[in-house]
């Protein structure tokens, strides 16, 4: 968040949605175009390149494009911009479709692909050649770059720029037919090498690429540039509002030039918005690919990844991501959003839906001396404090229990009101218990607490009005299920981590994953389902991980109960030195 946006963040964290008040500028434009009859129906598209998984930045574009189509009774296409076969894979296509659906959106008709339009794009390239507006350039990529000029100097015309239409047609057909090696020539638009806008200095329209395409195989030896494919694909699909991020603002004159010079079926208009940037997070696909390929994370769906698949596996509900995107709104100026905003939306969603359970992450044994050996009883625990319909469950109380090690202090600090020798506390849903003595091992560590309970306090209710200052969670030692719990910390400690492909790895938080191997779950968690969030009382929100299939249950911590992000970062920074 920039300083200017601080007020908004504050409002959002108090539950007010800043974007609610006014419609964003793109929705204003759509509404105006519809009411003035400039468009009969709004048609948008989400145009990912299948060269990686979708991340939270894409979610902004998805929510906007699909959201507008929903709100204004229009259509939104899912179109893969699959023009660079060297980097694109079927796995990414499948993952992107899955993630868009999981976010809760449905595209109009069949999935579309820029590669569906390769024939028509080729035809339009020929049309430009015939109009004298495109030429085959034999300069090497290095020469082209050297002759492109700079922001302050004009470029130089290629010596191949004035080839005849016939020669260009012949050479372009030869390129298509695989007569030339990759890199030996390219088709360029013939616009203006002296233009103040570098994008108009004879941009490349087609290159020779020697790679199999996931959909067209080896049928094509040449591939259109993103710039040449994008706007014309929009025109084919009748896109009325083509929404992209600000870095394409300078490309708009080029897109408009293509549309003006080609016999396209419709004239889309492009609108640019700010990218989503999130503190402590890198959203460049190059970096995300590097994290995966470099083995810094377990995969694209590692719960530390800012990918949609990562958030899903971590237990973040789609509703929370949609709510977050709604709160940040759509602006024309780039800024950075605080992670606290996303976490606020996650807690809001989970607090409503997650059932409560008791789990001990770091167990400390408790023996209730006056509770008969071999005895056990079932106590009732509510599943959700604010939702009676969620019902209740039975939990086992026995003589031997586990409590959280952190809920006991040998020498209690000033404001520590939980378990200590001589102190009475409430065991949630169960009884008042008093710690009589601690047992230590040879190393001097506390390994057990000997306690007594008050049988008159069943359900955790005070028998005589006397009060205890703390209520703690517990599980039955005999019945609890052993589990692994994974706690995720920020992947980057720096709020603005370096996105440099060669050095970003140096900024990775060495403590981004903490594993607790000795957690104990209340038995009802045997029924937990992958990705279904649960609140472990007093600890946070968790969900079962797919790794549990191999035996011992594994839970991911989605998020803690309170906002401790800044503190966690400081702690890991201190540890990392």
Binding-site size for ligand ATP (CB under 6 A) equals 15
* Residue 49 burial (C-beta neighbours within 10 Å; 0-12, 13-18, 19+): middle
Out of 27, 60, 79, 304, which residue is the one contacting ligand ATP (CB under 6 A)?
A: 60
Per rule CB under 6 A, is residue 213 in the interface with ligand ATP? no
Out of 157, 195, 216, 245, which residue is the one contacting ligand ATP (CB under 6 A)?
A: 245
Which of the stretches 52-60, 170-178, 259-267, 561-569 binds ligand ATP when contact is defined by CB under 6 A?
52-60
In the complex, least distance from residue 73 CB atom to ligand ATP, rounded to whole angstroms: 22
In the complex, least distance from residue 195 CB atom to ligand ATP, rounded to whole angstroms: 24
In the complex, least distance from residue 286 CB atom to ligand ATP, rounded to whole angstroms: 6
In the complex, least distance from residue 26 CB atom to ligand ATP, rounded to whole angstroms: 12
Residues whose CB is less than 8 angstroms from the CB of residue 91 and which lie 6 or more positions away in sequence, other chains included: none
Q: How far is CA 314 from CA 228, 346, 532, in A?
A: 39, 11, 10
Helix/strand/coil (H/E/C) assignment for every residue in 338-374? CHHHHHHHHHHHHHHHCEEECEECCEEEEEECCCCCC
Give phi and psi for 57, each to the nearest 5: -65, -40
59/121 with CB nearer ligand ATP: 59
* CA distance linking residue 287 with residue 51, whole number of Å: 12
Phi/psi region, residue 446 (left: phi>0; alpha: psi -120 to 50; beta: rest), is: beta
120/275 with CB nearer ligand ATP: 275
Within residues 284-313, the interface with ligand ATP by CB under 6 A covers 284-286
In the complex, least distance from residue 136 CB atom to ligand ATP, rounded to whole angstroms: 28
47/214 with CB nearer ligand ATP: 47
9/61 with CB nearer ligand ATP: 61
Out of 276, 279, 366, 491, which residue is the one contacting ligand ATP (CB under 6 A)?
A: 276
Q: Give me the helices (H) in 162-307, please.
A: 165-176, 226-237, 252-261, 285-293
Which of the stretches 42-50, 256-264, 397-405, 481-489 binds ligand ATP when contact is defined by CB under 6 A?
42-50
Q: How far is CA 88 from CA 18, 49, 69, 201, 215, in A?
A: 38, 8, 28, 28, 10
In the complex, least distance from residue 302 CB atom to ligand ATP, rounded to whole angstroms: 18
Out of 61, 77, 233, 535, which residue is the one contacting ligand ATP (CB under 6 A)?
A: 61
Per rule CB under 6 A, is residue 275 in the interface with ligand ATP? yes
Q: Helix crossing, 339-353 with 565-576: angle to 10°?
A: 120
* Residue 50 burial (C-beta neighbours within 10 Å; 0-12, 13-18, 19+): buried
Please give the distance of CA 501 from its chain centroid, rounded to a whole number.
Answer: 20
In the complex, least distance from residue 218 CB atom to ligand ATP, rounded to whole angstroms: 24
* CA distance linking residue 59 with residue 278, whole number of Å: 12
Which of the stretches 275-283, 380-388, 494-502, 524-532 binds ligand ATP when contact is defined by CB under 6 A?
275-283
* CA distance linking residue 537 with residue 487, whole number of Å: 15
The upper half-sphere exposure of residue 459, i.e. CA atoms within 13 Å in the direction of its Cβ, equals 5
Per rule CB under 6 A, is residue 381 in the interface with ligand ATP? no
Q: Helix crossing, 252-261 with 226-237: angle to 10°?
A: 60
47/85 with CB nearer ligand ATP: 47
Which of the stretches 83-91, 276-284, 434-442, 489-497 binds ligand ATP when contact is defined by CB under 6 A?
276-284
The two structure tokens encoding residue 174: 């030869």
Taking CB atoms, the residue at the shortest distance from ligand ATP is 57
Would you state the torsion angle of the CA atoms of residues 228, 230, 231, 235, taken in this order, to the nearest 10 degrees? Answer: 120
Q: Are 452 and 434 in contact (CB under 8 A)?
A: yes
* Bridge-based pairing state of the strands 335-337 and 276-278: parallel
58/312 with CB nearer ligand ATP: 58
* CA distance linking residue 147 with residue 154, whole number of Å: 9
Within residues 129-168, the interface with ligand ATP by CB under 6 A covers none
Per rule CB under 6 A, is residue 47 in the interface with ligand ATP? yes
Out of 43, 53, 58, 310, which residue is the one contacting ligand ATP (CB under 6 A)?
A: 58
Per rule CB under 6 A, is residue 244 in the interface with ligand ATP? yes
* CA distance linking residue 520 with residue 501, whole number of Å: 41
The conformation of residue 507, written as its DSSP 8-state character, comes to G
Angle, CA 66 vertex, CA 65 and CA 69 arms, to 5°: 90
In the complex, least distance from residue 575 CB atom to ligand ATP, rounded to whole angstroms: 30
Per rule CB under 6 A, is residue 241 in the interface with ligand ATP? no
245/298 with CB nearer ligand ATP: 245
68/475 with CB nearer ligand ATP: 68
Which of the stretches 47-55, 83-91, 388-396, 520-528 binds ligand ATP when contact is defined by CB under 6 A?
47-55
Name the nearest CA neighbour of 461 among 486, 427, 421. 427
Residues catalogued as catalytic: 49, 275, 285
In the complex, least distance from residue 15 CB atom to ligand ATP, rounded to whole angstroms: 25
8/270 with CB nearer ligand ATP: 270
Residue numbers at the binding site for ligand ATP (CB under 6 A): 47-49, 57-58, 60-61, 244-245, 275-276, 283-286
């Amino acid at each position: 968040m920039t300083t200017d946006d601080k007020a908004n963040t504050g409002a959002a964290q108090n539950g007010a949605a800043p974007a609610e008040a006014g419609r964003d500028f793109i929705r204003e434009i759509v509404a105006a175009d519809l009411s003035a009859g400039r468009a009969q129906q709004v048609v948008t598209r989400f145009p990912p390149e299948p060269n990686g998984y979708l991340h939270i930045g894409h979610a902004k574009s998805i929510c906007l494009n699909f959201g507008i189509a929903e709100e204004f009774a229009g259509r939104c296409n899912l179109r893969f911009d699959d023009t660079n076969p060297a980097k694109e894979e079927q796995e990414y296509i499948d993952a992107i479709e899955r993630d868009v659906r999981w976010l809760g959106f449905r595209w109009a008709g069949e999935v579309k692909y820029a590669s569906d339009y390769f024939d028509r794009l080729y035809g339009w390239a020929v049309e430009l050649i015939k109009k004298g507006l495109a030429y085959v350039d034999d300069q090497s990529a290095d020469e082209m770059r050297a002759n492109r000029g700079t922001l302050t100097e004009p470029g130089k015309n290629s010596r191949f720029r004035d080839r005849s239409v016939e020669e260009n047609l012949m050479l372009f057909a030869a390129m298509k037919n695989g007569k030339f090696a990759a890199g030996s020539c390219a088709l360029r638009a013939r616009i203006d090498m002296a233009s103040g806008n570098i994008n108009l200095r004879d941009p490349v329209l087609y290159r020779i690429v020697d790679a199999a395409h996931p959909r067209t195989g080896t049928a094509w030896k040449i591939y259109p540039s993103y710039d040449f494919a994008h706007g014309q694909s929009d025109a084919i699909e009748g896109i009325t509002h083509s929404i992209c991020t600000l870095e394409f603002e300078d490309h708009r004159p080029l897109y408009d030039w293509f549309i003006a010079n080609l016999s396209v079926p419709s004239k889309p208009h492009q609108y640019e918005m700010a990218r989503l940037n999130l503190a402590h997070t890198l959203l460049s696909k190059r970096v995300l690919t590097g994290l995966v390929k470099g083995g810094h994370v377990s995969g694209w769906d590692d719960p530390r990844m800012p990918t949609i698949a990562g958030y899903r596996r971590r237990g973040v509900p789609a509703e929370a991501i949609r709510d977050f995107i709604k709160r940040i709104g759509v602006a024309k100026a780039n800024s950075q959003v605080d992670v606290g905003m996303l976490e606020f939306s996650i807690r809001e969603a989970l607090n409503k839906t997650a059932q409560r359970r008791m789990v001990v992450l770091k167990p400390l044994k408790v023996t209730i001396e006056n509770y008969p050996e071999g005895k056990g009883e079932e106590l009732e625990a509510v599943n959700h404090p604010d939702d009676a319909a969620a019902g209740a469950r039975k939990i086992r109380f026995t003589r031997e229990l586990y409590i959280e090690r952190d809920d006991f202090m040998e020498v209690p600090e000033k404001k520590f009101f939980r378990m200590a020798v001589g102190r009475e506390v409430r065991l949630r849903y169960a009884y008042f218990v008093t710690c009589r003595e601690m047992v230590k091992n040879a190393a001097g560590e506390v390994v057990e607490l000997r306690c007594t309970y008050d049988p008159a306090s069943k359900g955790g209710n005070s028998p005589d009005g006397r009060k205890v200052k703390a209520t703690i969670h517990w599980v039955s030692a005999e019945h609890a299920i052993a589990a692994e719990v994974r706690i995720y910390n920020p992947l980057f400690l720096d709020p603005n981590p370096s996105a440099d492909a060669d050095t970003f790895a140096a900024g990775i938080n060495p403590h981004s994953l903490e594993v607790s191997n000795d957690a104990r779950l209340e038995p009802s968690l045997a029924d937990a389902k992958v990705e279904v969030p649960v609140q472990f009382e007093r600890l946070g929100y968790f969900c079962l991980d797919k790794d549990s299939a191999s035996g011992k249950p594994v839970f991911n911590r989605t998020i803690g109960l309170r906002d401790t992000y800044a503190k966690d970062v400081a702690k890991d920074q201190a540890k990392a030195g």
